[in-house]
Amino acid sequence: MKTKTTRSKSLSPTSSAAQPKPRGAVARPLRAPRGTRPTGAPGASPARSREGGLHGFLIGQTEALIAEVLKFTGPADATTSRFFRAHPKLGHSERGIIAEAVFAVLRRRMEFAHLAESGTGGPTRRLALLGLMQTAGRSALRPFLSEDENAWLEHVAKIDPQSLPLRIRTNLPDWVAEALAARFAPDELAQLAAALNYAAPLDLRVNPLKASRDQVLAALEEAGIEAGATPFSPLGVRVVGKPALTKLKIFEDGWVEVQDEGSQLLCSLVAPRRGEMIVDFCAGAGGKTLALGAAMRSTGRLYAFDVSERRLAKLKPRLARSGLSNVHPVQIDSEHDIKIKRLAGKIDRVLVDAPCSGLGTLRRNPDLKWRQSAASVQELAPKQASILASAARLVKPGGRLVYATCSVLEAENEAVVAQFLAEHPEFALVPAGAVLAEQRIGLDTGEYLSLWPHRHATDGFFAAVLERRTAAA
User: Which residues are known catalytic residues?
Assistant: 406
- How far is it, in rounded angstroms, from Cα 452 to Cα 461? 7
Task: Compute the chain's Rg from CA coordinates.
Answer: 23
Q: Give the β-pairing of 347-353 and 327-331.
A: unpaired
Question: Is the CB of residue 237 less than 8 Å from the CB of residue 201?
Answer: no
Residue 244, CA distances (Å) to 84, 239, 241, 249, 258 in order:
19, 11, 10, 11, 12
